Chains A and B, each alone.
Chain A
Amino acid sequence: MGDAPFSFYKRTSASLMWGTAAALLPALGWGIYCFGNSAVLSVAASIIGALAGETIVSGIRRRFTLWDGSAFLTGLLVGMAMPAGISPLIPAIASLFAVSVIKGAFGGLGSNWMNPALGGIAFAIINWPSEMSAWTVPRQLAGLASISGATPLGFDLAHAGSALAGSNPIDLLTAGGMRFTSLDASVTETLNKILFSHIGAELPGGYVDLLIGNKPGALGELSALLILAASIFIISRRFVRWEIPASIVTTFALLTWTFGGLPFGNGFFAGDMLFSIFSGSFLIVTFFMAPDPVTSPSSLIGMSIYGMGIGALIFLFRSFGLSAEGSAFAVILMNCVVPALSKLDIAASRRRATKALIEGGNVRGGQ
């Protein structure tokens, strides 16, 4: 008695984790294409570190949790945030720390207050700042003159002061020695011919390379296109809720559009939203880490505020911070606010209960 239901929706927490990990594989594949064996090595080291951490915690807590997919996903995400060619010890230690301390020490899956992958990435950035910003150039850019040792985002932030008035982030890159692939040129030309010319707009060169991932950067975060595709997949399969990414993207895009043009001397409402969104780890953090249900609020108002906070912090960190990579820290800081936001979740629940009581209290409870 009292043990209904007797059948369940087939999805389990584990299938959710493995499914999310599977969605990331194309983006990882692009990283491996760009950087070859060094990318494989970093990601493998990271996953091994995460699984080792999970095994240690499983041993201590006497509950075997290696196959719930959570540790694997953490390892994968940490690995994908690494620059190619980094010493494999760094991702391994970062993942081990993420799984055993940030997740395990707080009681394991479901009890951690900080996203483990972000914790691991932050750990690596703080510990090995120079290694974590030594970006290699992908093989397809090898023949082209290219900015070395910096991502497009990092380069622009470092050189924004020297920008000519009226220029944009892409101009700055070109001035700094970045060259785009012939693919970028031809795709841009085609798009302009068949699409943008009809609406009186013109897409300048460079964005196609940014979108596809022909640029230096973290090995799993290069291709905005593949990460966007993975995001659409996980949202349509309802692995994560859409409200948090929507709130982050909206806030960040609006702030960038409004104030992002100022460093270039372009005044208000002239920021380059496309460049900001497609560069750095913005997309992977927004879609794969910020909406982690364990460390985010659940009511609409809570999710909106959480997302706005992240969007605003990413903008702040990118504009004024030391490191070009503010996304991870923005989410970690907002993770701290989640307990306070969960009061809003409870208030929302109470409002619904009170409303139900007033509207139809006597209806319930049978005839």
Chain B
Amino acid sequence: MRLSRTFRHGGIRVELDLEWERRGPVQNSFLPNSAVILLKQHAGRQARCVVRRGEYVREGMVIGRADGYLSANVHSSIPGVVRDIRVVALPEGGQAEAVVVALEGSFERLGRKGERYLWKSMGRNELLSSIKDKGVVDTEAPGMPLFDLLGERRDIDLLAINAVESEPYLRAEACLLEDKSAEIMEGIAILSRILSPKRTVIATSRSDVPSLAPASDGEGQVECIALLARYPQDMRRQLLEAIDVSSKASEEEAILLRPSTVFAVYEAVVLAKPMVERYVSIGGGALKRPAVLKARIGTPIGDLIEECGGFLGPPTRLVLRGILRGNSVYDLDAPITKTTSAVIALDAKEVGSLQKTPCIRCGRCAEVCPERLDPELLFRLIERNMRARAAELGLGFCTACGSCSYICPSRVPLVAAFSAESRLQAKERALGEMPK
């Protein structure tokens, strides 16, 4: 075994946020006075709204029904009255409808010990349909509905629980794994029933792997592997490489899920609870007291920031999900969704200089590229509209991890250009045109 397991090529070390101490268990955040629940928190089409303005909704009630390709059910996270149904801009681009629920009435679930469903007597299809019904999506962007992700898969080679957090300020998954290890183990058992994996691995980025109870139904052993927190260790190919998945066939036959997804599966199946809350990591240099909070879906990020003591000074940038692959928001009313793993308020020092200067061909981008591409060359080709040439030189392998842009001393917008080009090529493929 290697001393420090990690991927083979490239990668960066992000020197931010090095000291953080956990202060006690994760707290529930305050309930929002009004929750903005997006009807598109998943990869595919927006859910169809099934409530009307002025209607009373209970906690956990369906307010949006899965509607078409890669769509998922959306539930109300709080009890209350539908105040408004309006179109809002999404942080990742585009727009979607949102249901605004004003808190009112009582909680039926809160404080009560719910009934436990005996899932072991349930069949595969029954398990899958309860996952679908409760609106469980992969908590990693873009939020693939779990039913669509797992439905066709069986007898896979590897089920990997990806608790690796290699970006600064992300720690929700590690906290969840620590707090809810028994529940997550049961979730793994449920997933094992559905997928029958040959091998199950929990990959963490911390050496102190929480002590985990063995999978409750004895369907195979669960391995725990600690990996170096070098970025982008949490991405698919880098993770598989680090846990010694060598053959191409095995790599294809692997499913990676976040602990939060597994926990949502547990809640959906065992507690019949829809996906209405999640662990959110709140951090950044502009924040007074970084913390991990358990927040209701639809809570405005401003509420969570206030609960963490507010800002130390004016934040330079607000970022969701991570500073290397996330999205920026300009609005404290932006709501938490099923995929919002983190809210980060960066100060001016952390953002640093954005001054773009000419490329000096230092070659750092190629050194850090985990896919062994030459970002500088690809960027020049795109700039000169030699797009077919760029595709030939491996542009399609770019995973948009952002390592090249992070390291570039000239602040050349490398990954932005690659993402735009990938989107363009996908569009052209969809239109059946060949790129010139």
Asked if A364 lies at the interface with its beta carbon under 8 angstroms from chain B, I say: yes
Asked if A346 lies at the interface with its beta carbon under 8 angstroms from chain B, I say: yes
Is A345 a contact of B358 with CB atoms below 8 Å?
Answer: no
Is A356 a contact of B236 with CB atoms below 8 Å?
Answer: no
Given known A16-B409, A241-B363, A293-B361, contact A349–B416 (CB-CB < 8 A): no
Query: How far is the CB of A38 from the nearest CB of chain B, in Å?
Result: 33
Asked if A294 lies at the interface with its beta carbon under 8 angstroms from chain B, I say: yes
Is A363 a contact of B240 with CB atoms below 8 Å?
Answer: yes
Query: How far is the CB of A264 from the nearest CB of chain B, in Å?
Result: 41
Is A1 a contact of B363 with CB atoms below 8 Å?
Answer: no
Asked if B405 lies at the interface with its beta carbon under 8 angstroms from chain A, I say: yes
Contact mask for chain B residues 284-304; partner A; CB cutoff 8 A; 1 contact, 0 none: 000000000000000000000
Contact mask for chain B residues 3-28; partner A; CB cutoff 8 A; 1 contact, 0 none: 00000000010101000000000000
Asked if B114 lies at the interface with its beta carbon under 8 angstroms from chain A, I say: no
Chain B interface residue count, Cβ-Cβ cutoff 8 angstroms? 68
Asked if A9 lies at the interface with its beta carbon under 8 angstroms from chain B, I say: yes
Is B410 a contact of A4 with CB atoms below 8 Å?
Answer: no
Asked if A108 lies at the interface with its beta carbon under 8 angstroms from chain B, I say: yes
Q: Contact check: which of A15, A109, A346 meets B358 at CB < 8 Å?
A: A109
Is B236 a contact of A363 with CB atoms below 8 Å?
Answer: yes
Is A7 a contact of B394 with CB atoms below 8 Å?
Answer: no
Is B416 a contact of A16 with CB atoms below 8 Å?
Answer: no
What residues on A are CB-neighbors of B376 within 8 Å? Answer: 298
Closest to B149 in A: A367
Given known A2-B420, A6-B317, A9-B406, contact A110–B360 (CB-CB < 8 A): yes
Q: Contact check: which of B14, B252, B319 meets A363 at CB < 8 Å?
A: B252
Is A16 a contact of B362 with CB atoms below 8 Å?
Answer: yes
In Å, the complex CA distance between A119 and B94 comes to 52
Is B371 a contact of A356 with CB atoms below 8 Å?
Answer: yes
Segment 359-412 of B: residues with Cβ below 8 Å from A: 359-364, 366, 371-374, 376-377, 392-394, 396-397, 399, 402, 405-411
Asked if A195 lies at the interface with its beta carbon under 8 angstroms from chain B, I say: no
What residues on B are CB-neighbors of A12 within 8 Å? Answer: 353, 355, 357, 409-411
**Size class of A's contact patch?**
35 or more
Is A293 a contact of B363 with CB atoms below 8 Å?
Answer: yes
Asked if B193 lies at the interface with its beta carbon under 8 angstroms from chain A, I say: no
Asked if B425 lies at the interface with its beta carbon under 8 angstroms from chain A, I say: no
Asked if A272 lies at the interface with its beta carbon under 8 angstroms from chain B, I say: no
Asked if A200 lies at the interface with its beta carbon under 8 angstroms from chain B, I say: no
Q: Is the interface of A mostly helix, strand, loop or mixed?
A: loop
Asked if B155 lies at the interface with its beta carbon under 8 angstroms from chain A, I say: no
Query: How far is the CB of A218 from the nearest CB of chain B, in Å?
Result: 26
Task: Pick the interface stretch among B72-80, B180-188, B202-210, B321-329.
Answer: B321-329
What residues on A are CB-neighbors of B91 within 8 Å? Answer: 1
What residues on A are CB-neighbors of B409 within 8 Å? Answer: 9, 11-13, 15-16
Task: Pick the interface stretch among B101-109, B214-222, B331-339, B344-352.
Answer: B344-352
Q: Contact check: which of B144, B326, B371 meets A367 at CB < 8 Å?
A: B144
Segment 1-33 of A: residues with Cβ below 8 Å from B: 1-16
Asked if A159 lies at the interface with its beta carbon under 8 angstroms from chain B, I say: no
Q: Contact check: which of A5, A298, A348, A360 meets B248 at CB < 8 Å?
A: A360
Asked if A350 lies at the interface with its beta carbon under 8 angstroms from chain B, I say: yes
What residues on A are CB-neighbors of B236 within 8 Å? Answer: 363-364, 366-367
Closest to B248 in A: A360
Query: How far is the CB of A21 from the nearest CB of chain B, in Å?
Result: 15
In Å, the complex CA distance between A226 and B254 comes to 55
In Å, the complex CA distance between A16 and B371 comes to 26
Asked if B123 lies at the interface with its beta carbon under 8 angstroms from chain A, I say: no
Is B392 a contact of A2 with CB atoms below 8 Å?
Answer: no
What residues on B are CB-neighbors of A293 within 8 Å? Answer: 360-363
Asked if A237 lies at the interface with its beta carbon under 8 angstroms from chain B, I say: no
Asked if B255 lies at the interface with its beta carbon under 8 angstroms from chain A, I say: yes
Query: How far is the CB of B374 from the nearest CB of chain A, in Å?
Result: 4
Is A8 a contact of B352 with CB atoms below 8 Å?
Answer: yes
Query: How far is the CB of A6 from the nearest CB of chain B, in Å?
Result: 4
Contact mask for chain A residues 307-345; partner B; CB cutoff 8 A; 1 contact, 0 none: 000000000000000000000000000000000000001
Asked if B190 lies at the interface with its beta carbon under 8 angstroms from chain A, I say: no
Asked if B415 lies at the interface with its beta carbon under 8 angstroms from chain A, I say: yes
Q: Contact check: which of A5, A108, A294, A353 meets B361 at CB < 8 Å?
A: A294
Asked if B48 lies at the interface with its beta carbon under 8 angstroms from chain A, I say: no
Given known A110-B359, A111-B358, A345-B374, contact A9–B251 (CB-CB < 8 A): no
In Å, the complex CA distance between A348 and B374 comes to 9
Given known A12-B357, A349-B373, contact A6–B362 (CB-CB < 8 A): no
In Å, the complex CA distance between A16 and B411 comes to 13
Contact mask for chain A residues 46-78; partner B; CB cutoff 8 A; 1 contact, 0 none: 000000000000000000000010000000000
Asked if A139 lies at the interface with its beta carbon under 8 angstroms from chain B, I say: no
In Å, the complex CA distance between A249 and B148 comes to 59
Query: How far is the CB of B247 from the nearest CB of chain A, in Å?
Result: 10
Which among B237, B354, B373, B394 has the greatest number of chain A C-beta atoms within 10 A? B394
Given known A12-B410, A349-B394, contact A1–B373 (CB-CB < 8 A): no
Query: How far is the CB of A111 from the nearest CB of chain B, in Å?
Result: 7
13 A–B contacts, CB within 8 A, in A order: A2-B416, A4-B325, A4-B326, A5-B325, A6-B344, A8-B405, A12-B410, A13-B409, A294-B361, A349-B377, A362-B248, A364-B371, A367-B255
7 additional A-B residue pairs with CB within 8 Å, beyond A353-B393, A353-B397: A7-B406, A14-B357, A345-B374, A356-B397, A357-B394, A362-B248, A364-B236
